[in-house]
Amino acid sequence: MPLKNELMRRLKMIHPVIQAPLAGGGDTPELVAAVGEAGGLGFIGGAYLTPQQILEAARAVRTRTARPFGISLFAPQPVPDAPKDPRRALECVAPFYAELELPPPQAPALAADSFGEQLAAALDGGASVFSFTFGILPATAIEAVKARGMFLVGTATTVDEAVALEKAGVDAVVTQGAEAGGHRGSFAAEFEAAMVGTISLVPQVVDAVRIPVIASGGIMDGRGIAAALALGAQAVQMGTAFLVCDESGVPDAYKEAILRAREHETRLTRVFSGRPARGIVNRFMTEVERNAAPDAVLPFPFQNALTRPLRSAAARGGRAEFPDGAPPAGRPVHLAARARDRRSHSPAGGMITSSCVTPTVCKEKPA
């Protein structure tokens, strides 16, 4: 008997697998569509896209599949005051700029807030699901999403955050365990206090809310999916596992960095963006953390803007020792390599179907 639950019925999912929003280029339209065609739910990570880019990405997905997909943004954040003296931060990254033959770094300037325009594009993009992280959406944004009939998903790292999201009106909540790669979504607790493991967080949230729970953090294969479902989750959200798929937009050097990494070779850091994020340890992370004074890492999003030229140059050159050269990755990252080793190719659809092979997880062909 194939698995069916409230979440899967509402989102027309065949398998309880959601591709995490991979803001920064990992979630290509090809990947999002392939996940949907395989019976999962794919996501466009729109946080770093312009409104026009969001519309273009959504249009590209729609040309490849008629199945549901989602779009995700960061919840609006209060912008901290600009750093009064960013010289230490500039000095810290200047050698890396020079090594990549970039002009010397300048004090980062932030673009005007475009959340309203991004949200409007997401609403017009034809997606069935809208998700967000880093907080709770303004009431007007929640009303706008609901008015379009879209399914609304928030991100929690603690039970209290999950309860707050339910009260705000979300239809489901992603529980982001401490093992998850990329940025932490914490918003109602100190980052350190919110480092709750997936296997502990999921059942506590399931007991505390009435809406469907989606487990995330360190889930790489069918064993992790089955465990999450046994804990009460109705689906899982996987990011790192999809980064190494053929349709992923990250360079091959990044995929190889993930496939070579061991479970102890990821850690949380602020040096990439100013906000805690889990990634594979690389030279930039190690040297900046070792040499930087406390004021040498700017607050988010200023640090993110400061390292963006490095990330772009590293991507062009396939340099795994620089920011995002070893991309955000969750624990246990080595399971992504094991899952890929079991397949001769690495398409997203194959990853989903090879993971969903037991009655506990479910196995059914899309209609």
> Phi and psi dihedrals of 181, rounded to 5?
-85, 165
Choose among 281, 328, 333: nearest CA to 48.
328
Q: What is the pLDDT of residue 326?
A: 46
Give the number of C-alpha atoms closer than 13 A to the C-alpha of residue 157, restricted to the C-beta side. Answer: 23
Q: What is the mean pLDDT of residues 140-164?
A: 98
- pLDDT, tens digit (0-9, with 9 covering 90-100), for 226-244: 999 999 999 999 999 999 9
- What dihedral do alpha carbons 151, 156, 160, 162 form, nearest 10°? 20
Domains and CATH numbers, the chain: 6-77+85-355 (3.20.20.70)
- Continuous H helices in the chain: 6-11, 29-37, 51-64, 87-99, 115-124, 139-147, 159-168, 198-208, 222-230, 240-243, 252-260, 283-291, 302-317, 334-341, 348-355
Give tens-digit pLDDT for 25-44.
889 999 999 999 999 999 99
pTM over 0.85, yes/no: yes
pLDDT band at 117 (very low <50, low <70, confident <90, very high): very high
Q: b vs e for 64-103, b when ≥16 Cβ sit within 10 Å of the residue's Cβ?
A: bbebbbbbbbbbbeeeeeebeebeebbebbeebbeebeee
Model pLDDT for residues 165-177, shown as the tens digit of each residue: 999 999 999 999 9
Do the bridges between strand 42-45 and strand 69-74 make them parallel or antiparallel, or are there none, so unpaired? Answer: parallel
**By the 8 A CB rule, do 166 and 210 touch?**
yes
Euclidean distance between CA atoms 272 and 297, whole angstroms: 9
Mean pLDDT over each residue of the chain, to the nearest integer: 89
Q: pLDDT band for 116, please (50, 70, 90 cuts).
A: very high
Rg (CA), the chain: 19
Range scoring the smallest mean pLDDT among 142-146, 163-167, 308-312, 328-332 = 328-332
Report pLDDT digits (tens) over 48-70. Answer: 999 999 999 999 999 999 999 99
In the structure, what pLDDT confidence band is assigned to residue 333 with cuts at 50, 70 and 90? Answer: low
Condensed to tens digits (0 to 9), the pLDDT of residues 277-323 reads 998 888 899 999 887 777 789 999 999 999 999 988 887 877 766 65
Dihedral, 304, 310, 314, 317 alpha carbons, nearest 10: 150
Pairing between β-strand 213-216 and β-strand 172-176 as defined by DSSP bridges: parallel
Could you give the 3-state DSSP secondary structure of residue 214?
strand
